[in-house]
Amino acid sequence: MGTDNKKTAADTTGRIRLENKERIIKAAEKIFAKNGFRGATTADIAAAAELPKANIHYYFGTKEDLYRAVLDEIVALWVSSFREIKHDDDPASTLADYIRAKMELSKNRPHASRVFANELIRGAPRMKDYLEGALKEWVEEKAGIMDQWIEEGRMAPVNTRTLIFHIWAMTQTWADFEVQWTAILGTGDHLGDAEYEEATNAIISMVLRSCGLIPVPPRMTETEMKLTV
Amino acid sequence: MGTDNKKTAADTTGRIRLENKERIIKAAEKIFAKNGFRGATTADIAAAAELPKANIHYYFGTKEDLYRAVLDEIVALWVSSFREIKHDDDPASTLADYIRAKMELSKNRPHASRVFANELIRGAPRMKDYLEGALKEWVEEKAGIMDQWIEEGRMAPVNTRTLIFHIWAMTQTWADFEVQWTAILGTGDHLGDAEYEEATNAIISMVLRSCGLIPVPPRMTETEMKLTV
DNA sequence: ACGAATATTGATCATTTGGTCAAACCAAAA
DNA sequence: TTTTGGTTTGACCAAATGATCAATATTCGT
């Protein structure tokens, strides 16, 4: 009555509108992941969404707008995966949990991971703000806490920013370059739970060992040790 | 006289032809790296090569042919970086050398690295043969040698195939996602020698430590150790 | 059931894009 | 110099592509 709640087409959140937008974003994510922004066509996206091409433009004005919407969803996904780290958390389990969360993302949302990778490869023209803002802050904060851990002797000294980058690299590679791994491992045409499990454990072991958080398993024969030097 | 050495336009290797083909491939590498196969336009490539568009089609029939030529050069580059590994080589220095070689490639040929990454993200439709053939063989051979090292107690037991993948992931990330790192580290708009040096050492330390090939530096204060458990 | 708001869609348009072609150009062998 | 075979280039074309629109259909509050 007294409240001014007139709706415009743009920000209306009706049932049909929400459903269709989500459906289109999901389809767009797949197509953008495969062909990048310039390589993706609105016709392909429409086909993937099983809708007429005109609908895509009805819900998202331009291809550019749609792409931004996809990126927004992905950034939200990324941000939500950043669990809080507190200073008195246990370094080993904190790192292990984070690696597990990242690998879950790679396994469950490979398209999102690839859209992100595509955007980065091209120089992130639409994400510079995010990278230099929120993401940088996140890294600074987390690296800062880890640096404290090191100062307090709770983990071995390493460059913590570089460590974070390498964790990202190893976890993302299983989504972005899946074909490479399936081709070389010879596991059908996509990675199964077993491969992800194995990879996750390998990354956790590697990171924790190199930070002195778990012991490195002994070499097998002690008599051969002198050959190493 | 007696020899049949007629030339066809396709396989002639005249001075001008060679120069122009190389010039076009270099330009194409840059454009394909940024926009992927479908996103790259022959007009952009021609502009980057500072030649009329028709020349591109004169030397390479179709965009597809040009792309394959670029991929061929990249594969050749990759293959040439695969140094021989022999069974009696020293594990630590062999791994370190390989990581250094890969990082050199990332630093010196970032465009090539990104074209490769683009192709993999999209499912490697034109490189399946290479991945399942030569590259797989290379991995099998190298992983086999490393498995022997493990059996002989010359390094700690790890999944060697997975280790190779993670080395690729960490070394490629510095080329493919350069913007991400520059944005977060705040180092102008591209990585300098110092960053590459630091990253290279970090990867080497991480890999060698996790394989028990160099000791993990001790944590700093021994009195705080009980907090960890 | 009615009407206003929202959603659907085929037809259509201007631009971009990969590719062609013929005429002009040039290097170098004869 | 002349000839020959490769090279250069602007003009051009058909197909693909992002985007628009008007006509039609559906939804939903009242």
Return the number of other C-beta atoms located less than 10 Å from residue A121's C-beta: 27
Give distance CA A7 / C1' D28 (Å).
15
Res B118 pLDDT > 70? yes
Mean pLDDT, rounded, of chain A: 90
* Closest nt by CA–C1' to B41: C17
Q: Which of A40, A163, A224 sits opposite B152 (nearest CB)?
A: A224
Interface check B159 vs A, CB under 8 A: yes
Residue B173's closest CA among A144, A168, A180, A39? A168
Res B122 pLDDT > 50? yes
**Least-confidence region, from A29-38, B7-16, B28-37:** B7-16
Give distance CA B23 / C1' C13 (Å).
38
Give distance CA A207 / C1' D11 (Å).
61
What is the band of A6 on the pLDDT scale with cuts at 50, 70, 90?
A: very low
Residues with CB under 7 A from strand D: A 14-16, 40-43, 53-54, 57, 61-64; B 7-9, 12, 14, 16-17, 20, 51-55, 58
Structure tokens at B27: 């330009």
* Closest nt by CA–C1' to A44: D17
**Residue-level pLDDT at B81:** 82
Contacts of A176 in chain B (CB under 8 A): 117, 120-121
Q: Are A185 and A172 in contact (CB under 8 A)?
A: no
Res A2 pLDDT > 90? no
Mean pLDDT, rounded, of chain B: 90
pLDDT digits (tens, 9 = 90+) for B59-70: 999 999 999 999
Residues 6+ apart with CB under 8 A from B6: none
Residues 6+ apart with CB under 8 A from B158: A202, A205, A206, B150, B210, B211
Res B12 pLDDT > 60? no
CB-CB under 8 Å, A212 with B217:
yes
Q: Helix, strand, coil: what percent of chain B each, to 5?
A: 70, 0, 30
* Closest nt by CA–C1' to A54: C9
Domain ranges of chain B: 14-70, 82-210
| Three-state DSSP class for residue A173 | helix
Q: Which of B114, B168, B228 sits opposite A154 (nearest CB)?
A: B228
Residues 6+ apart with CB under 8 A from B139: A184, B161, B164
Amino acid (one-letter) located at B223: T
Amino acid (one-letter) located at A114: R
CA A153 to chain centre: 30
The residue assigned the tokens 């280790």 is B163
Residue predicted with more confidence, A15 or A19: A19
A69: left (phi over 0), alpha (psi -120 to 50) or beta: alpha
pLDDT digits (tens, 9 = 90+) for A64-121: 999 999 999 999 998 888 888 999 999 999 999 999 999 999 999 999 999 999 999 9
pLDDT digits (tens, 9 = 90+) for A117-160: 999 999 999 999 999 999 999 999 999 999 999 999 999 999 99
**Residue-level pLDDT at B224:** 47
Return the residue in A184, A200, A227 with the most chain B beta carbons within 10 A, the one to mutate for interface testing: A184
Query: Which CATH fold topology does A82-210 show?
Result: Tetracycline Repressor; domain 2 (1.10.357)
Nearest protein residue, CA measured to C1' of D5: B9
Q: Are A173 and B116 in contact (CB under 8 A)?
A: no
Nearest protein residue, CA measured to C1' of C8: A55
Distances (CA, A) of B198 to A6, A64, B48, B166, B205: 57, 38, 33, 18, 11
CB-CB under 8 Å, B38 with A179:
no
Q: What is the rounded average pLDDT of the residues B154-172?
A: 97
As a whole number of angstroms, the distance between CA A209 and CA A180 comes to 27
**Residue-level pLDDT at A201:** 98
Return the residue in A103, A121, A198, A213 with the most chain B beta carbons within 10 A, the one to mutate for interface testing: A121
In chain A, the percentage of residues whose pLDDT exceeds 90 is 82
Nearest-CA residue of chain B relative to A189? B123
Interface check B43 vs A, CB under 8 A: no
**Least-confidence region, from A81-90, A149-158, B116-125, B150-159:** A81-90
As a whole number of angstroms, the distance between CA B218 and CA B212 comes to 14
What is the band of A222 on the pLDDT scale with cuts at 50, 70, 90?
A: low
Interface check A121 vs B, CB under 8 A: yes
As a whole number of angstroms, the distance between CA A87 and CA A142 comes to 9
Residues 6+ apart with CB under 8 A from A50: none
Which H/E stretch holds residue B47?
Answer: helix B42-49
Contacts of B173 in chain A (CB under 8 A): 165-166, 168-169, 172-173
Give the CATH class of B14-70: mainly alpha
Res A229 pLDDT > 80? no
Query: Which CATH fold topology does A14-69 show?
Result: Arc Repressor Mutant, subunit A (1.10.10)
Q: Which of B153, B161, B165 sits opposite A220 (nearest CB)?
A: B153
Q: Which of B136, B152, B228 sits opposite A183 (nearest CB)?
A: B136
Q: Which of B35, B132, B152 sits opposite A122 (nearest CB)?
A: B35
**Residue-level pLDDT at A7:** 37
CA distance A221 to chain B (A): 5
Backbone angles phi, psi at A218, to 5 degrees: -65, 150
Res A224 pLDDT > 60? no
Give distance CA A39 / C1' D12 (Å).
25
Q: What is the rounded average pLDDT of the residues A193-211?
A: 97
Structure tokens at B129: 């043969």
Rg (CA), chain B: 22
Q: Are B33 and B117 in contact (CB under 8 A)?
A: no
